[in-house]
């Protein structure tokens, strides 16, 4: 992917007035929080993204955020999983995202094929 085609989501200040102006109430969504220029936490809400981000703003755990609105808990979950797997330590997330309540949704990025590919690459690096 070239630089021209890469889309980087805009980072917004984690401020209540901005969250209220950007995100309607009771929307599903995923988000990433940033502190000192680095992504430090990812999450999602299957019921009210705005309320979740307002809670983060009240706790002042980050300075900036990005977000995506979703129309299905499965896509919100997949987006959160992707963010979780690309975050680099140190990060605030301690556990893998949980699947939407009442659904059996395996993480698309924890799939056995992904793990097998990683192991194969590691093995190739080890033998070289």
Token pair, residue 118, equals 């990683």
The reply on whether position 49 binds Zn ion by CB under 5 A is no
Query: By CB under 5 A, how many residues form the interface with Zn ion?
Result: 4
The reply on whether position 34 binds Zn ion by CB under 5 A is no
For residues 76-93, one letter each, b for 16 or more C-beta atoms within 10 angstroms of the residue's C-beta and e for the rest, the string is bbbbbbbbbeebeeeeeb
Rounded Cα distance, 117 and 112, in Å:
9
Residues 97-126 that bind Zn ion (CB under 5 A): 107, 109-110
Decide whether 28 or 107 has the Cβ nearer to Zn ion.
107
Q: Which residues are at the interface with Zn ion (CB under 5 A)?
A: 81, 107, 109-110
């Amino acid at each position: 992917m070239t630089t021209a085609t890469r889309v980087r989501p805009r980072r917004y200040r984690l401020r209540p007035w901005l969250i209220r102006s950007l995100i309607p109430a009771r929307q599903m969504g995923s988000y990433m929080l940033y502190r000192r220029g680095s992504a430090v936490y990812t999450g999602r809400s299957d019921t009210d993204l705005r309320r979740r981000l307002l809670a983060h703003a009240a706790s002042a755990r980050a300075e900036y955020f990005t977000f995506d609105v979703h129309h299905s808990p499965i896509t919100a979950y997949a987006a959160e999983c992707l963010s979780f797997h690309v975050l680099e330590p140190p990060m605030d997330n301690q556990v893998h995202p949980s699947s939407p309540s009442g659904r059996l949704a395996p993480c698309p990025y924890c799939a056995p094929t992904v793990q097998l590919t990683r192991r194969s690459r590691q093995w190739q690096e080890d033998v070289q």
